Amino acid sequence: LTITLALFIGLNKIRLI
């Protein structure tokens, strides 16, 4: 699902900061 992908990207972005 696209929702899972979006959630994963969001988490990754927060972790990157």
Q: How far apart are CA 13 and CA 6, in angstroms?
A: 11
Helices (H), 1-17: 2-16
Alpha carbon separation from 16 to 1, 7, 10 (Å, rounded): 23, 14, 10
Q: How far apart are CA 10 and CA 13, in angstroms?
A: 5
Query: Strands, E, within 1-17: which ranges?
Result: none
More confident residue, 16 or 11: 11
Write down the pLDDT at residue 15: 84
Write down the pLDDT at residue 13: 92
pTM: 0.16
In this structure, the chain runs to a length of 17
